[in-house]
Amino acid sequence: MLYAITDIETTGRYASANAITEIAIVLHDGEKVVDSFQSLVNPGTSIVPFVSRLTGITNDMVKDAPKFFEIAKKVWEITEGAVFVAHSVNFDYSFIRQEFKELGADFKRRKLCTVRLSRSVFPGHTSYSLGNICSRLNIDIEHRHRAMGDVLATVKLFEKCLENDGQNHIDKLLKRTSKEAILPPNLSKENFDSLPEKPGVYYFHDEKGKVIYVGKSINIKKRVYSHLTGRGSAKISFVSAIAKITYELCGNELIALLKESDEIHRLFPIYNRVQKFDRGSYILTEYVNQKGVRQLAF
């Protein structure tokens, strides 16, 4: 089996509103590296100073770099027939798929997340960010936050997982029925599987346990699934931050609605926007003024 281990740098967090500035792909056959590709990418937009400070990639560096359509054939070919591997795979995959979508192509590859894989093979660590897990496993990262530097560290992490995968976690993660590919990197499958298909309020927590979103549904599990897959109106942009989901069952949808509103005002979650602030109520009315003329007013 071939694995296309990938890392990208971007202008921002979300594929729908940002673009790739650098890409690196290392093709691995499960034993050794067999091919690689690396390139800066002209994103067609400005890189903000914060991102430049983080990655070291400036507007001057990418102004003469190829645009994605110029390297698209190579990216397609080196990943074709391979499992797409990345640390927090849905992030990298979403950007590359979006770039191909804008070119009229449907980029589909099997996915494997090294966050989820390393959590399974090396359980018990407090954090599985690339920097932290590599430090714990004595993997050096050169040129952090540059595509090739991060991808080479991911290759070493992947190889350590291969060496220690006595319970065939890779095969389990790649099963089409496992739903592992849709889950955020820090959310356990057991947590998702335990969600009820009943009315209630659900809470998304980050790695520190803080509630970042509150929602309600007549079917909690189905609603959460729609969030994670980005289907319909339930699509959200902060899926990768979800580390835990808790819930409170309610008797019916009306009670769940009232509970959700109360919890949003109590907890003030960062990603709940609609109900955070009390909005004044207005009516449109009419009256007769002192001159006997009918008028409209708010």
**Is residue 79 very low, low, confident or very high in pLDDT (cuts 50, 70, 90)?**
very high
For residues 205 and 281, membership in a common domain is answered with yes
Q: By C-alpha distance, which of 120, 125, 254, 272 is closest to 183? A: 120
**Is residue 286 very low, low, confident or very high in pLDDT (cuts 50, 70, 90)?**
confident
Among 228-232, 255-259, 265-269, the minimum mean pLDDT is found in 228-232
Asked if 160 and 146 count as a contact pair (C-beta separation under 8 A), the reply is no
**pLDDT digit string (tens) for 180-197?**
778 888 888 899 999 999
For residues 117 and 32, membership in a common domain is answered with yes
d(CA 182, CA 185): 9
For residues 100 and 142, membership in a common domain is answered with yes
**Is residue 249 very low, low, confident or very high in pLDDT (cuts 50, 70, 90)?**
very high
Q: How many domains does the chain have?
A: 2
User: Residue 37 maps to which CATH number?
Assistant: 3.30.420.10
Residue 52 has pLDDT above 90, yes or no: yes
For residues 79 and 208, membership in a common domain is answered with no
For residues 140 and 156, membership in a common domain is answered with yes
**pLDDT digit string (tens) for 270-285?**
988 766 555 566 778 8
Asked if 191 and 197 count as a contact pair (C-beta separation under 8 A), the reply is no
Beta-bridge partner residues of 243: none
For residues 164 and 189, membership in a common domain is answered with no
**Is residue 42 very low, low, confident or very high in pLDDT (cuts 50, 70, 90)?**
very high
**Segments of the chain assigned E as strands:** 3-10, 20-28, 33-40, 83-86, 111-113, 200-205, 211-217, 244-249, 285-288, 294-297
Model pTM score:
0.76
Domain boundary among 178, 200, 231: 178
For residues 170 and 237, membership in a common domain is answered with no
Residues 57-81, mean pLDDT to the nearest whole number? 97
* DSSP 8-state secondary structure symbol assigned to residue 46: P
d(CA 180, CA 270): 26
pLDDT of res. 233 = 46
Domain limits for position 286: 183-298
Beta-bridge partner residues of 83: 3
Higher pLDDT, 277 or 298: 298
Domain boundary among 148, 178, 208: 178
Asked if 241 and 187 count as a contact pair (C-beta separation under 8 A), the reply is no
Among 47-56, 235-244, 265-274, the minimum mean pLDDT is found in 235-244
Between the ranges 142-151, 156-165, 233-242, where is the mean pLDDT highest? Answer: 156-165
- Which two three-digit tokens encode residue 44? 């067609």
Domain boundary among 144, 178, 212: 178
pLDDT of res. 277 = 55
For residues 15 and 101, membership in a common domain is answered with yes
What's the chain's average pLDDT? 90
Give the sign of the dihedral formed by CA 146, CA 148, CA 152, CA 157. Answer: positive
For residues 32 and 153, membership in a common domain is answered with yes
Share of the chain above pLDDT 90, in %: 67
For residues 170 and 187, membership in a common domain is answered with no
d(CA 164, CA 183): 23
Residues 243-260, mean pLDDT to the nearest whole number? 94
Residue 267 has pLDDT above 80, yes or no: yes
Residues 221-234, mean pLDDT to the nearest whole number? 77
d(CA 21, CA 48): 12
For residues 33 and 82, membership in a common domain is answered with yes
d(CA 111, CA 242): 19
For residues 143 and 233, membership in a common domain is answered with no
**pLDDT digit string (tens) for 83-132?**
999 999 999 999 999 999 999 999 999 999 999 999 999 998 888 889 99
CB atoms inside a 10 Å sphere around CB 154:
24
**Beta pairing class for 211-217 and 294-297:** unpaired
- Which two three-digit tokens encode residue 73? 């054939």
Residue 45 has pLDDT above 60, yes or no: yes
